[in-house]
């Protein structure tokens, strides 16, 4: 790796980071995928040359790509090390971006203490550089941590502050995270009508804005609400759409959740064997992606596993579970499609 190549790759990351969440973002994600090995080499080169500012910038630009494409462990390592490197602690937008990514990865690794530290520093940096967009992201991070603790009141408080800030700024796009978290809090509290309304509001907003990530998320969450409300058949159209969008986007983040909720449909159709395979595949994919399940998803995942265990003999359950763990990502999605294509 030479300097010119490393800087070219850093420029690619700069350009891609602004496009990944826009329509056509898959094209940019695919370009990063093609250059993935070289991007790894560029990060190592910047670090070895003590060019820590550029290493931090590369990590900050690429963390959402790494999150979506199953490279969470790599993204976590890059951000943690770059944030601690000499000369990178000045309050800048790049550091704020890196802190948000590092906090998100720590949250997904169930490291609440580290995530809290990163999100609190994010708020300090955001105020130092007078950037209210990053203030809102800091509030969102603290809301997620509260949700993981089961403190839905605190989740609502931080989410409401983030929502009010986004609306004062006239930035509709920045209302997506607080809307989502308010819905998640309602869902965790068993207020399914409220959760459904908020998820639908967020879905319609992001369909209008063309934000594909949020459209995929909230389509699946609306399916989940139907299952929780005792209507698994009503969830099937949303699950089918989620599966289609996941395949079209090549975004791996949502796949375990699609499998887990499809498993609940299988259980409602008296097929605990298929459900166990889907749940095991979901667990395996989450582990490979390096991302723990959301706090409002994990209890329902465990509930599905418990139902499967109670419906079969121990040896039968273990066989299906082991089969699911060995199933490839594409094969597991095909299993989900199998249950969703029948009625």
Tens of pLDDT, residues 228-268: 999 999 999 999 999 998 888 777 888 999 999 999 999 99
Containing structural domain, residue 272: 231-343
Number of structural domains found in the chain: 1
Do the domain assignments include residue 192? no
**Structural domain contains residue 76:** no
**Would residue 239 count as lying in a domain?**
yes
Backbone angles phi, psi at 91, to 5 degrees: -75, 105
> Does residue 336 sit within a domain?
yes
Per-residue confidence (pLDDT) for residue 110, from 0 to 100? 93
Q: What is the pLDDT of residue 202?
A: 97
Tokens linked to 169: 């700024």
Contact 199, 225 (CB under 8 A): yes
Gap between the Cα atoms of 286 and 235, Å rounded:
22
Q: In this structure, are residues 53 and 88 in contact, taking their beta carbons and an 8 Å threshold?
A: yes
- Surface-to-core class of residue 309, CB atoms within 10 Å of its CB (0-12 exposed, 13-18 middle, 19+ buried): middle
**Roughly what angle, to the nearest 10 degrees, separates helices 232-249 and 255-268?**
150
Tokens 């209507």 locate to 231
Under DSSP, is residue 119 helix (H, G, I), strand (E, B) or coil?
helix
Two structure tokens written together for 48: 């070895």
Residue 276 inside a domain? The answer is: yes
Rounded Cα gap, residues 27 and 95, in angstroms: 26
- pLDDT score at 343: 63
The CB density around residue 164, as the number of other CB atoms within 10 Å, is 14
Residue 224: name the closest of 191, 264, 185 by CA.
264
Q: Which residue in 195, 212, 298, 208 sits closest to 247, CA to CA?
A: 212
Per the domain annotation, does 257 fall within a domain? yes
Structure confidence at residue 21 (pLDDT):
73
The segments of the chain whose pLDDT lies below 50 read: none
Question: Long-range contacts of range 27-30, CB-CB < 8 Å, 24 or more positions apart?
Answer: 29/65, 29/68, 29/69, 29/250, 30/250
pTM, whole model, 2 decimals? 0.91
- Say which DSSP state 174 is in: G
* Residue 341 within any structural domain of the chain: yes
In a domain, 305, yes or no: yes
d(CA 279, CA 320): 10
């Amino acid at each position: 790796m030479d300097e010119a190549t490393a800087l070219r790759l850093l420029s690619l990351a700069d350009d891609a980071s602004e496009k990944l969440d826009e329509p056509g973002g898959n094209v940019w994600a695919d370009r990063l995928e093609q250059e993935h090995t070289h991007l790894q080499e560029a990060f190592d080169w910047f670090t070895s040359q003590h060019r820590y500012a550029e290493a931090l910038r590369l990590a900050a630009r690429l963390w959402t790509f790494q999150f979506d494409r199953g490279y969470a462990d790599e993204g976590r390592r890059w951000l943690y090390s770059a944030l601690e490197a000499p000369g990178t602690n000045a309050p800048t937008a790049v550091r704020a971006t890196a802190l948000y990514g590092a906090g998100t990865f720590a949250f997904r690794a169930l490291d609440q203490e580290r995530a809290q530290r990163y999100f609190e520093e994010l708020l300090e940096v955001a105020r130092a550089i007078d950037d209210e967009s990053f203030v809102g992201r800091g509030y969102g991070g603290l809301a997620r941590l509260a949700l993981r603790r089961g403190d839905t009141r605190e989740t609502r408080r931080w989410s409401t502050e983030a929502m009010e800030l986004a609306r004062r700024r006239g930035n509709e796009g920045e209302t997506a995270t607080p809307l989502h978290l308010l819905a998640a809090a309602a869902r965790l509290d068993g207020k399914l009508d409220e959760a459904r309304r908020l998820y639908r509001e967020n879905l319609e907003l992001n369909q209008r804005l063309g934000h594909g990530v949020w459209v995929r998320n909230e389509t699946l969450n609306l399916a989940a609400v139907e299952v929780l409300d005792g209507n698994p058949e009503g969830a099937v159209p949303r699950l089918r759409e989620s599966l289609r969008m996941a395949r079209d986007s090549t975004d791996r983040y949502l796949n375990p959740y699609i499998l887990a909720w499809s498993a609940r449909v299988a259980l409602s159709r008296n097929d605990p064997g298929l459900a166990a395979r889907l749940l095991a595949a979901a667990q395996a994919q989450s582990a490979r992606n390096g991302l723990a399940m959301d706090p409002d998803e994990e209890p329902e995942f465990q509930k599905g596993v418990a139902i499967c265990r109670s419906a079969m003999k121990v040896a039968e359950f273990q066989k299906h579970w082991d089969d699911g763990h060995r199933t490839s990502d594409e094969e597991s999605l095909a299993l989900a499609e199998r249950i969703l294509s029948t009625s």
